[in-house]
Amino acid sequence: MTKPLNRVKCANCGDILVSRHRHDFVQCSCFEDKSDTTGIFIDGGKDYERCGGNLSNVLRYRNRKWVPETFKVRYEDRSIYQIKSIFRNAFNLTPFAILVGFMRKQINKLRR
């Protein structure tokens, strides 16, 4: 059994995008206007599937009709402050910082 074609349809402009082979990057006509951010693209052919752009405009061909695609969010949207607190808790560098400070003082004493 052969793998089906990698194809999607843009809900904004109606273009049907078909990626026929590996690294066949295809984008819809929405990207022709540089200020428009509603376009979509597809890549990968039958080897892998990569779809991007405005994902709310992606339609898949399933059961002989075009249906909206639902994408799973892989990563939570976190602010930089949440990320810093995660690393601070995961790697407690306080003892290391104290040691480095002590070593700096000792080196400065030896230089005098």
Q: What pLDDT digit, counting tens, does each position of 29-52 carry? A: 888 776 667 788 888 888 888 888
Residue 78: the pLDDT is: 46
Place 98 in a pLDDT band, splitting at 50, 70 and 90. confident
Q: Are 47 and 91 in a shared domain?
A: no
Q: Are 14 and 40 in a shared domain?
A: yes
Q: What pLDDT digit, counting tens, does each position of 65-93 carry? A: 888 877 665 544 444 445 555 555 555 55
Q: Is the pLDDT of residue 53 over 70?
A: yes
Q: Are 64 and 85 in a shared domain?
A: no
Q: Are 10 and 62 in a shared domain?
A: yes
Residue 77: the pLDDT is: 47
Residue 93: the pLDDT is: 58
Answer yes or no: is 24 within a domain.
yes
Residue 6: the pLDDT is: 80
Could you tell me if 25 and 47 are in contact, meaning their C-beta atoms sit under 8 angstroms apart? no
Q: Are 11 and 58 in a shared domain?
A: yes
Q: Are 25 and 63 in a shared domain?
A: yes
The burial class, CB within 10 Å (0-12 / 13-18 / 19+), for 7 is middle
Q: Are 39 and 84 in a shared domain?
A: no
Q: Are 43 and 15 in a shared domain?
A: yes
Domain housing 61: 6-68
Q: What pLDDT digit, counting tens, does each position of 8-23 carry? A: 999 888 899 998 888 8
Answer yes or no: is 104 within a domain.
yes
The total number of structural domains in the chain stands at 2
Q: Which two tokens stand for residue 10?
A: 């843009």
Q: Are 11 and 46 in a shared domain?
A: yes
Rounded Cα distance between 54 and 8, Å, is 13
Answer yes or no: is 1 within a domain.
no
pTM equals 0.57
* Arithmetic mean of pLDDT over the chain: 76
